[in-house]
Amino acid sequence: MSERRVTAQDAVLAALRSDILTGELEPGDQIVQESLAERYGVSRVPLREALKTLESEGQVVYHPHRGYFVSELSVADLLEVYRLRELLEAEAIRAAVPTLTDADVDAVAELAAQVEAAADRVDVMEMTVANRRFHFALFDAAGLPRLSRLLRQLWEATDAYRALYFQSPGNRERVSGEHAQMMTALRARDAEALVRLHDEHRDHSVDAVRALLGERSP
């Protein structure tokens, strides 16, 4: 994972994620391999390998002999993602909090500051990335790599909507405030409070994303 990105399939995978996240590729779109490969400047082989990993994450769906399509997230699917996140993130936080040193907590605080800085600059893309680093710093600290991986899959499934969520100034402000509360609980090593704050934090975003989904496909 941390190996330097050299292969074309990795570059293509990153490009695909970005295109899905920015809406360049919209839910329901067929992915025409020939044209996309040309756009990325590679052949179809590495593109297809990247698509296979996106398929297993549920970001695209595959129909043999018909091709890959950007997944359409239904409301039911969205709610399921958040329900599973609730379950798994609580587990991660409870496992992580007791193991964190003061230095670790400071590092997490630094990441929270980066999220806020991006919010102030109204850099939505950077905020999305920083926000993810902040939350996963906590999750990864649990030392349960499989759990981390499952959570990454679930987060990626709703990446497109999270970026939209950060578009609104009100949401950006709320996120910063909630992160600050979470840091307080974290410094107090109060795992249960942190879980509760995390749940509220997530509930706010699910409400917003659900509203977005509703207007898009009524």
Partner DNA sequence: GTCACGGGAATTGGATCCAATCTAGCAGAT
Partner DNA sequence: ATCTGCTAGATTGGATCCAATTCCCGTGAC
Contact footprint for DNA (CB under 7 A): 6-9, 30-34, 42-46, 48-49, 62, 64-68
Contact track, a copy of itself, 156-195, x by CB under 8 A: -x--------------------------------------
| Residue nearer to a copy of itself on the CB measure, 55 or 190 | 55
DSSP 26: -
Pairing of strands 60-63, 67-70: antiparallel
Could you give the C-alpha distances from 134 to 49, 53, 108, 118, 187, in angstroms and in order? Answer: 29, 24, 6, 13, 15
Helix axes 145-157, 75-96, angle to 10 degrees: 150
Task: For residues 50 and 43, give the distance between their C-alpha atoms in angstroms, rounded to a whole number.
Answer: 12
Taking the complex as a whole, how short is the minimal distance between the CB of residue 169 and a copy of itself, in angstroms?
32
Interaction between residue 91 and a copy of itself (CB under 8 A): yes
Tokens at residue 207, please?
């409400």
Which residues are near a copy of itself by CB under 8 A? Answer: 3, 6-7, 10, 45, 48-49, 52-53, 55-58, 63-65, 77, 80-81, 83-84, 87-88, 91, 144-147, 149-150, 154, 157
